[in-house]
Amino acid sequence: MSRIRARGNERTELAFARMLRAARLTGWRRHLTILLKGLRPGTAIASDGTRFLPKVRPDFVFPSAQLAVFVDGCFWHGCPRCYRSPKTQSAFWRTKVARNRERDIFQTRALRQRGWRVLRVRECALSVRRSPATLRRISKALGATATSA
Ligand SMILES: [Zn+2]
C-alpha cells in the first residue's frame, strides 16, 4: 500500500512540477524538511490519539518566498469534489482519510503559525481546464511576498 501511495504522490507532484516549468516559475525545491519547533503539548495529536511528527516535508517549497505547497491526491486527502469511498473496507478507508485530513490541517496551521504561506493544491486542480487558475494562485502567493519584501 505504501508503494501505491508513493507512486500516486509522485505522479501528482511530477504533473505539478511540469506545470511550474511550463509557466517558467522558478525558485522552488522539492522535499525540504521544515522542523516545527516549539509545538505546544497536545496540539500535535490527532483525534484518534495518533501523534503527528514535529516536522513537515511539503511537496514544494519556495524558500525565499516562504511558500510551502502541498499537492494533495484527491483520494488520500479526501477531496470534497472527487473522493468516493471504496466499496470494500470502507470503515478502514474512512478512518485513514480522516486522519490524513487532520494531519493536513495540523501541518497547514503549524506552518502558518511559523510565518509560512501555505497553499494546498488538489490533484484535480492540475487538469488542463483548471491549471490556469491554479497557476494564478501560485503566482499571487509568490507576488504577495515580492511586494511586501
Ligand atoms: Zn479532487
How far away, in angstroms, is 41 Cα from ligand 1 center?
33
Sorted by sequence, the CB contacts under 8 Å of residue 31 that are 6+ apart come out as 57, 59
How far away, in angstroms, is 21 Cα from ligand 1 center?
22
How far is Cα 139 from Cα 130, in angstroms, rounded to an integer? 15
Reference 16, options 127, 103, 115; nearest CA is 127
> Which residue range(s) make up the domain with 14?
2-148
Query: How many domains are there within the chain?
Result: 1
How far away, in angstroms, is 53 Cα from ligand 1 center?
26
pTM metric for this prediction: 0.87
How far away, in angstroms, is 66 Cα from ligand 1 center?
26
Q: Where residue 120 sits, what CATH number does that domain have?
A: 3.40.960.10
Can you give the pLDDT of all 149 residues of the chain as single tens digits? Answer: 444 455 557 789 999 999 999 999 999 999 899 999 988 877 888 888 888 999 999 999 999 999 999 999 999 999 999 999 889 998 999 999 999 999 999 999 999 999 999 999 999 999 999 999 999 999 999 986 544 43
How far away, in angstroms, is 106 Cα from ligand 1 center?
20
Sorted by sequence, the CB contacts under 8 Å of residue 119 that are 6+ apart come out as 67, 68, 69, 70, 137, 138, 141
b (16+ CB within 10 A) / e for 27-62: ebeeeeebebeeeeeeebebeeeeebeeebebbbbb
